[in-house]
Structures are given as structure tokens and as C-alpha cells.
């Protein structure tokens, strides 16, 4: 049983358990009213709060994610399962909420990391596709569209061919491509996404022959991410013009 508070003015003296309930915001109304009138109990409540704070500081936050995990959470570098796990932890832990707020404040004035920087920070194997001399693609041109723009990229045993056919009126054009592997058929599963400022704007599955179609895309500056089973290939700058 918790001990009574020395010097308490109440006939039925307040106990330590009552102070704990008050600190947790769960005390009865009469206890809260008593604390406004009794100096001894107020002093005891302050002392108890100080002791609890010191105790919490000494106890390791073993159930809390590491600071590095919160940094990756803030930069959206975690996989979906980890992202969900940390999101669920936040409402239960004020210390982690404070830590995440500090991270957000510290990175507020920093330039946003590039797609390659974000992927490399996650520890994944990243290859940056470098442009070669333009060449045509064996892809059909839709009647009524303007002449296609083509790109040819090389990267460690892979060749990436892109074709963009802008609309005649300068609206969204058709973006298609083919990823070829020097070893034959493309490893599966394989996906491609078109991004801008960390936002995925279009995506498609790359078939075993390397073909993909991202549909109609407006002229702008983009990044392209191709995801294979053991690596990711990035086109850091893809400028589509009307």
C-alpha cells in the first residue's frame, strides 16, 4: 500500500498513489482540488514527478526504434512493413515524437535528397544509367503524334532504350522503353516507375523481354527507377520536351 503524504492537510490523508494518478491525469476531481489547496501535497507531487523523470532517463528505451530508423522514416526510405511499424509506435511514445520533430526541424532548410541519395542511404545496390549516343527504338509510332525522342543508356551489363513521342499540341506524350540484359531474359519480377520530387507519377511492370509502357506523360523533368530482384537502376535526369 502506498504511504500517506507527510504534512497533508486532509483528514483522510492523500497517498503516493493519488499523486501518481494526478500526474497521469487520471485522479478524481476531489484529489485535483485538494492539490490546489495543500502545499505539502503539491511539493510531494513535484518531487515525485522529478524522480519519475530521472528514472525514465536512466531506463534505456529498449522498445524504441534507433535514431537512424527515424531518420530513414523521415526520408521515406523504409519498406512498407517498417514504415507501418514505426507509424504505429509514434502515438505511444512522446520521446520518439519529440525525436522525429527534431529531425524534421533539423532537415527543414536542407535541400531534398536526390533519388539516388535516398536509395543509397537505404543500403540498396544502385546503378546509375549513363546516356550514350541516341538511337532509334523498335517501337511503333502512333499516328497523329510528333516525331519521337529517343535515349540510349548503358550500365553494367544492361542497356536501356527509351522513346518519348510528344503530342502535336504539346500535351502529354507516350513514354515507352526496353531494358535489355547481356545475359538474356530479364530477371523477374521487374518494375519501372517515373518520379518527380520523390512522387511516383507512373509505373509499369517490365516483362521478361524488357518492354514497358508508362503511358502518356506531360513534358517535364523526371527521374526513372527500374527495380530488379537484386538491384535498382536509376536515370537521374530524364528531360521530356514538347
175 or 99, higher pLDDT: 175
Confirm whether pTM is higher than 0.75. no
The top-scoring range by mean pLDDT among 18-32, 65-79, 209-223 is 209-223
Q: How far is CA 75 from CA 66, 118, 210, in A?
A: 15, 7, 30
> Element (H or E) spanning 82, and its range?
helix 80-89
**Interval 218-227: pLDDT, tens:** 888 999 999 9
Mean pLDDT for the stretch of residues 84-98: 87
| Architecture field, domain 126-240 | Sandwich (2.60)
Q: Are 150 and 135 in contact (CB under 8 A)?
A: yes
pLDDT at residue 106, as a whole number? 66
pLDDT at residue 57, as a whole number? 63
Q: Are 192 and 226 in contact (CB under 8 A)?
A: yes
State the cell numbers at 93: 511514445
Q: Which of 13-27, 90-104, 132-146, 188-202 has the lowest mean pLDDT?
A: 132-146
Percent of the chain with pLDDT over 90: 19
Q: Would you give the DSSP letter of residue 70?
A: H
Give domain limits for the chain. Answer: 16-58, 67-110, 126-240
Q: CB atoms < 10 A from the CB of 84, how many?
A: 11
The answer for 187, left when phi > 0, alpha when psi is -120 to 50, beta otherwise, is beta
Amino acid at each position: 500500500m502506498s504511504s500517506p503524504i507527510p504534512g497533508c492537510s486532509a483528514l483522510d490523508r492523500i497517498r503516493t498513489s493519488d499523486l501518481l494518478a494526478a500526474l497521469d491525469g487520471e485522479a478524481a476531481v476531489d484529489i485535483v482540488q485538494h492539490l490546489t489547496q495543500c502545499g505539502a501535497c503539491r511539493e510531494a507531487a513535484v518531487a515525485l514527478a522529478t524522480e519519475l523523470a530521472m528514472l525514465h532517463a536512466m531506463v534505456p528505451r529498449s522498445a524504441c526504434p534507433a535514431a537512424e530508423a527515424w531518420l530513414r522514416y523521415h526520408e521515406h526510405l523504409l519498406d512498407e512493413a517498417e514504415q507501418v511499424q514505426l507509424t504505429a509506435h509514434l502515438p505511444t511514445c512522446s520521446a520518439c515524437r519529440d525525436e522525429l520533430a527534431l529531425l524534421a526541424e533539423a532537415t527543414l532548410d536542407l535541400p531534398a535528397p536526390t533519388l539516388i541519395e535516398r536509395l543509397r542511404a537505404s543500403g540498396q545496390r544502385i546503378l546509375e544509367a549513363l546516356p550514350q549516343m541516341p538511337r532509334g527504338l523498335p517501337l511503333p509510332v502512333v499516328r497523329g503524334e510528333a516525331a519521337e525522342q529517343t535515349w540510349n543508356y548503358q550500365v553494367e551489363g544492361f542497356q536501356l532504350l527509351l522513346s518519348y513521342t510528344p503530342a502535336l499540341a504539346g500535351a502529354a506524350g507516350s513514354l515507352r522503353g526496353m531494358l535489355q540484359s547481356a545475359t538474356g531474359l530479364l530477371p523477374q519480377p521487374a518494375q519501372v516507375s517515373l518520379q518527380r520530387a520523390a512522387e511516383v507519377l507512373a509505373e509499369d511492370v517490365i516483362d521478361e523481354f524488357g518492354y514497358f509502357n508508362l503511358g502518356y506523360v506531360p513534358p517535364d523533368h523526371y527521374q526513372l527507377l527500374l527495380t530488379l530482384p537484386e538491384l535498382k537502376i536509376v536515370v537521374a535526369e530524364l528531360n521530356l520536351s514538347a
